Amino acid sequence: MFLASRNFCCRGIKLRTDLLSRSIKHSTSATMPFRHKNTRRIEGLDSNVWVEFTKVAADPSIVNLGQGLPDISPPSYVKEELAKVAAVDRLNQYTRGFGHPSLVKALSQVYEKVCGRKIDPLTDILVTVGAYGSLFSTIQALIEEGDEVIIIEPFYDCYEPMVKMAGAKPVFIPLRCKKDGNSASSADWVLDPAELANKFNSKTKAIILNTPHNPIGKVFTLEELQVIADLCIKHDTLCISDEVYEWLVYKGNKHIKIATLPGMWERTVTIGSAGKTYSVTGWKLGWSIGPEHLIKHLQVVHQNTLYTCPTPLQEALAQAFWTDYKRMDDPECYFYSLSRELESKRDRMAQLLKGAGLKPVIPDGGYFMIVDVSTLNVDLSDVDEKLPYDYKFVKWMIASKKLSAIPLSAFCALETKKHFEKYIRFCFIKKDSTLDAAEVILKNWNKQ
Amino acid sequence: FFFHSLQAKMSRPVQARRLEGVDKNIWVEFVKLAATYSKVNLGQGFPDFPAPDFLREALMGALSGGNHMLHQYTRAFGHPPLVKVLAQFFEKLLGRDLDPMTNVMVTVGAYQALFCCFQALVDEGDEVIIIEPFFDCYEPMVKMAGGTPVFVPLRPNPPKDGKLMSSADWQLDPAELASKFSERTKAIVLNSPNNPLGKVFSRGELGLIAELCVKHDVLCISDEVYEWLVYDGKQHIRIASLQGMWERTVIIGSAGKTFSATGWKVGWVVGPDRLLQHLRTVHQNSVYHCATIAQEAVAQGFQRELMLYGKPESYFVQLPKELQQKRDWLVQSLDGVGMKPIIPEGTYFLVADISPFKSDVPDVPNSDEPYDSRFAKWMVKNKGLAAIPLSAFYSEAHKNNYTNFIRFCFAKEEATLKAASDILQKWKQEKTS
């Protein structure tokens, strides 16, 4: 293809008049096959479930319980900090690349307290554009062609394309419902230890852990983390621990950081998110915390990708963290008060769903809830055959009930979609009026 | 068997091979030095004067407006008000219709826009032409994408009458440039106005580059972050407006440079959908969204500028006017003490020949470090004046091509520039006494 166009070019250039060469330039650009395709690293990574579903959600007549963004207000002191910062001149200019000094200092204090170990703000922390940016920096820094990366299904959808973009092979292992398909709680979903052990081999560079888990809301127990840790140590594997929902754990549950288990600090990168911690997803600030010998490579990626994160947002976040650091032993600390607020929304949501004949899986953490919709027996066999049931169900629900959710198979690899297609995911970090509107729809569900 | 495979894993470095050779970064070192020693910092490129009032008011307005959804995710490829106004603006400038959804994408600073370009378009084995001296990140970004940087220099042709050089006197040799294009050439990176020299490429020079791009079917990554900072009535010409170039060019811009707010990290790309679609793929798999509220405020800034376009109150008219005065002031100060500045046609940087001051920093034969780097470090430690050595903007092989130049940033308050002048005067006096 390219050769043919080159010949065309050469023939054109032999002719001398300006006019002719100009018209040939025009026609070569019109007829020359466009050779500038995407690079190999992004081959097949162009589609994205959110692009489709967020378009739908933009319709204001639809009650949106799909995408994970709060429609509640961030706490007022957080907004005030940003307003204060906006007035300070020098905070409109570049700050330290790897993280604004006051922010990394605040993060190190908070996490020292949580982890019970010294964390150096300059070498053990990298501030990134959201936890998304931390996942990207970690994977680009430490994963390459020839590596395998274990991903637990269902998974936050970006893990798979990011691993592929790094040239590595994702290896999937599903959470399985131990109650024979009759799940009432996120704790029913577990990994089979023997199955997990079989996924590890000499090529396994890392395992991605997400706890509390999106979409199921599972909070991995100490025993479950120990199983993973033992395998990581045995096979000298890294652990990428996505803990963005770390503060959102409900009564009877405790968030445990796998990095605090013996032998794990040196091989774990733990990822956090301001968006989830302070209900400010639009600030797009996240962080990676870990040992210097791993974080330094993330810093190299960062300095070659975007260099610095926005200054004013980092300063405001630092101030918010200081406020809550000082009251970490007080139940009024936002880390705990948000969790209490969400627990009652969780419970309300669960009740409404049950009332409509649906079967929710009560999450132990996070702000998502998966729901078994097969009980309703909605016949969608006449709709597009190729789509999994849950996609069809969500589309039908949006059109006929004006309520949106996300199909669970969006969080699964191709082979596993069938196992999860009776579930859809609802987000419940929504203000009361949104939940009221959802209530109306769910109460009237069977009347239509 | 198990032990051996574990051994093999442990003996391999933990980091990915794509990080090979891209770990060093001049800014980490020089920013630290400036923070420790400098009394006057003309090094890193950021203004020490405030961002314009209307921009800060836009942010305050967004915060107090009661729309708390501005604290949540916006559209991943760019906040709708921002991409809309960028499309409107660039439609005017390029003379063509633009779709805000497909011809514009917002990035985390121009830096991330550059990253998206290389990751989306440069594969292993591709060659990318980089014009020296260059903004230092181009080289490691090309390498991280598996590409091979191919360098071509701007060469100084000093005026015969002994007058100060202008950045216009640094030029590409057409034959030399043409020789750099091969079958493997994927793209050329153009930076006009150019950092560090301040060169504003003329229509003729751009035409030369464009012709070669079209002839060899090569893409153009056009870093135009300093597009508004052109002096002496010169015009910034967008290469994408030249014949045959729109379909093969990605234009990069920066709110940080446009609105003197480098810490906001809002940038953008403008280009044809068939190139931008690939940048969108990289973006959605790397950062996905950019901060909403900063985009909202920048959108309002652009809406103001759209209304005031070409008028004397336009920031895009006032800022270059103000900076031109600062440029002239610094040129005078440097010339007055015997440093020979190259007068920049654009940007807020200038490069000066520090030869008369070399005696303070003796040459160290067989040193790994380029002379100008040692000089700049000595200067910040001993004189408290921070600047960046020109070798920072050259490839490894060419770092010693020029030993006497350092780059100064003049986007500074009068007081800062005066303080710099005082240091230089005192230094000169010490030398003559």
CATH number at residue B292: 3.40.640.10
Q: What is the predicted pLDDT for the residue at B261?
A: 97
- Is residue B200 over pLDDT 80? yes
The size of the A-B interface in CB pairs under 8 A is 235
Q: Hey, which residues does A206 pair with through a beta bridge?
A: A149, A238
Residue B80 near residue B295 (C-beta atoms within 8 A): no
In a domain, B11, yes or no: no
- Cβ within 8 Å, pair A238-B73: no
Q: Is the same domain home to A350 and A233?
A: no
Across the interface, whether the CB atoms of B123 and A39 are under 8 A apart is answered yes
Return the residue in B11, B26, B68 with the most chain A beta carbons within 10 A, the one to mutate for interface testing: B68
Same domain, A236 and A212: yes
Contact A36 B18 (CB under 8 A): no
Residue-level pLDDT at B363: 85
Q: How many domains does chain A have?
A: 2
- Identify whether B14 is part of a domain: no
B173-197 average pLDDT score: 98
pLDDT tens digit string along B96-154? 999 999 999 999 999 999 999 999 999 999 999 999 999 999 999 999 999 999 999 99
B215–A9: do the CB atoms touch at under 8 Å?
yes
Look at residue A179 and tell me whether its pLDDT is greater than 70. Answer: yes
Domain that holds residue B397: 21-51+315-432
Exposure string of A109-120, with b = 16+ CB inside 10 Å and e = fewer, is bbbbebeeeebe
Within an 8 Å CB–CB cutoff, is residue B25 touching chain A? Answer: yes
Q: For B14-35, what is each residue's pLDDT tens digit? A: 999 999 999 988 888 898 899 9
Closest B-chain CA to A9? B215
**H or E stretch at A82:** helix A76-86
The DSSP bridge pattern shows strands B40-41 and A423-427 to be: unpaired
Give domain status of residue A130, yes or no: yes
Supply the pLDDT for residue A51: 73
Are the beta carbons of A32 and B217 separated by less than 8 Å? Answer: yes
| Residue that finishes a domain, picked among A294, A326, A358 | A326
The residues that bridge with B351 in the sheet, in sequence order, are B342, B407
Same domain? B41 vs B60 = no
Q: B120 contacts in A (CB within 8 Å)?
A: 38-39, 42
- Give dist(CA A329, CA A324) in Å, integer: 9
For B16, the closest of A5, A39, A144 (CB atoms) is A144
Q: Give the pLDDT confidence score for residue B225 in this predicted structure.
A: 98
Give the mean pLDDT of A421-442.
95
Average pLDDT in chain B: 95
Cis peptide before A212 (omega within 30 of 0): yes
Rounded to an integer, what distance in angstroms lies between the CA atom of residue A356 and that of residue B279? Answer: 44
Per-residue model confidence (pLDDT) at position A24: 43
User: Is B176 inside a domain boundary?
Assistant: yes
Phi and psi at residue B346, to the nearest 5°: -160, -175
Largest CA distance in chain A: 83
pLDDT tens-digit profile of A56-73? Answer: 767 889 999 998 889 999
pLDDT of residue B284: 95
Does B291 share its domain with B351? no
Encoded amino acid at A164, one letter: K
Calpha distance A400→A383 (Å, rounded) = 14
Residue A5 lies in a domain: no
Which is it for strands B219-223 and B249-254: parallel, antiparallel or unpaired?
parallel
Per-residue pLDDT of B255-287, as tens digits, reads 999 999 999 999 999 999 999 999 999 999 999
List all residues of chain B from 260 to 279 with a beta carbon under 8 Å from chain A.
Answer: 260-265, 274-275, 277-278
What is the gyration radius of the CA atoms in chain A, in angstroms?
Answer: 25
How far apart are the C-alpha atoms of A86 and A315, rounded to whole Å?
A: 10
* Angle, alpha carbons B128-B130-B131 (nearest 5°): 155
- Quickly state the pLDDT bin for A30 (edges 50, 70, 90): very low
Our CA-based measurement puts residue A280 at a distance from the nearest CA of chain B, in whole angstroms, of 5
CA distance B267 to B108: 6
Select the residue from A7, A14, A36 to test the B interface by mutation, using most B Cβ atoms within 10 A: A36
Contact criterion met (CB below 8 Å) for B283 and A50: no
Q: Which residue of B has its CA nearest to A204?
A: B9
Which of residues B265, B280, B308 is at a domain's end? B308
- State the number of CA atoms in the 13 A half-sphere of A253 facing the CB: 27
Does B374 have pLDDT greater than 50? yes
- Asked whether residue B206 falls in the same domain as residue B286, the answer is yes
Amino acid, res. B11: S
Answer yes or no: are the C-beta atoms of B95 and B241 closer than 8 Å: yes
User: Does A108 lie in the same domain as A171?
Assistant: yes
pLDDT at B98: 98
Domain ends where: B279, B308, B337?
B308
Q: How far is CA A282 from CA A278, B2, B213, in A?
A: 11, 47, 39
Structural domain harbouring A425: 48-72+333-444
Residue A10 lies inside a defined structural domain of this protein: no
**What per-residue confidence (pLDDT) applies to B166?**
97
Residue B4 belongs to a domain? no
Q: How confident is the model at residue A31 (pLDDT cuts 50, 70, 90)?
A: very low
Residue A65 to residue A371: CA distance in whole angstroms:
12
Is A146 a residue whose pLDDT tops 90? yes
Q: Which of A10, A94, A149, A204 to mutate to test the interface with B (most CBs of B within 10 A)?
A: A94
Last residue of a domain, one of A280, A298, A326: A326
Distance of CA A138 to the CA centre of its chain: 14
Cα B315 to Cα B322, B327, B410: the distances in Å are 10, 18, 18
Ramachandran quadrant class, A344 (left: phi over 0; alpha: psi -120 to 50; beta: rest):
alpha
Q: What is the full DSSP assignment across A209-263?
A: EESS-TTT-----HHHHHHHHHHHHHTT-EEEEE-TTTT-B-TT-----GGGSTT
Place of tokens 């953490």: A365
- B121 contacts on A by Cβ (under 8 Å): 36, 38-39
* Amino acid A20: pLDDT: 42
Pick the closest to residue A213 from A204, A205, A203, A224 (CA basis). Answer: A224
Pairwise CA distance, residues B255 & B297, whole Å: 10
What is the per-residue pLDDT for A8? 34
The secondary structure of B151-202 as a DSSP string is EEE-EE---TT-PPPBGGGEE--HHHHHHT--TTEEEEEEESSPTTT-----
Query: Does residue A238 sit in the same domain as residue A375?
Result: no
User: Across chain B, which distance is largest between two alpha carbons, in Å?
Assistant: 76
Query: Which has the higher per-residue pLDDT, A115 or A376?
Result: A115
Summarised one tens digit per residue, pLDDT across range B57-78 is 999 999 999 899 999 999 999 9
* Amino acid at the residue A211: T
What pLDDT does residue A57 have? 66
Pairing of strands A268-273, A286-289: antiparallel
The pLDDT, as a whole number, for residue A153 is: 97
Chain B CA closest to residue A161? B285
A281/A349 same-domain check: no
**Same domain? A243 vs A176:** yes
- Is position A13 within any domain? no
As a whole number of angstroms, the distance between CA B233 and CA B37 comes to 38
Of A46, A86, A275, the CB nearest to B281: A46
**Average predicted confidence (pLDDT) for chain A:** 90
pLDDT of B185 above 70: yes
Nearest to B18 among A22, A79, A144 (CB): A144
Q: Are residues B285 and B326 in the same domain?
A: no
Closest among A61, A51, A47, A78 to A282, alpha carbons compared:
A78
Asked whether residue B315 carries a pLDDT value surpassing 60, the answer given is yes
What's the DSSP call for residue B164? P
Alpha helices, DSSP H only, in B49-106?
53-64, 80-94
Among A21, A24, A28, A42, which would you mutate to test the B interface (most chain B Cβ atoms within 10 Å of its Cβ)? Answer: A42
A90 and A114 part of one domain: yes
Residue A379's contacts (CB-CB under 8 Å, 6 or more residues apart) are none
Kindly state whether residues A288 and A425 are assigned to the same domain: no
Distance CA A313, CA B293 (A): 9
A143–B247 C-beta distance less than 8 A: no
Q: Are A117 and A130 in the same domain?
A: yes
* A303 to B141: CB separation less than 8 angstroms, yes or no: no
Q: Quick check: helix, strand or coil at residue B410? A: coil
The DSSP call for residue A335 is H
- Where does a domain end: A326, A353, A368? A326
Answer whether A311 sits within 8 Å of B145, measured CB to CB. no
Instruction: Quote the ipTM score.
Output: 0.95
Contacts of B294 in chain A (CB under 8 A): 310, 312-313
Distance of CA A62 to the CA centre of its chain: 24
Contacts of A158 in chain B (CB under 8 A): 285, 288
Confidence of residue A87 (pLDDT cuts 50, 70, 90): confident
Residue A12 pLDDT greater than 60, yes or no: no
Chain B: closest CA distance from residue A12 (Å): 10
Chain length of chain A: 448
Query: Of the residues B273, B308, B343, which one is the last residue of a structural domain?
Result: B308
Whether A278 contacts A249, CB under 8 Å: no
The pLDDT, as a whole number, for residue B152 is 98
Cα A319 to Cα A312: distance, rounded to the nearest angstrom: 11
Domain annotation covers residue A206? yes
Do residues A31 and A8 make contact, with C-beta atoms less than 8 angstroms apart? yes
Q: What is the CATH number of the domain that holds A61?
A: 3.90.1150.10
Predicted confidence (pLDDT) per residue in A74-84, tens digit: 999 999 999 99
What's the total number of domains in chain B?
2
Examine the domain organization and report whether A149 and A286 are in the same domain: yes
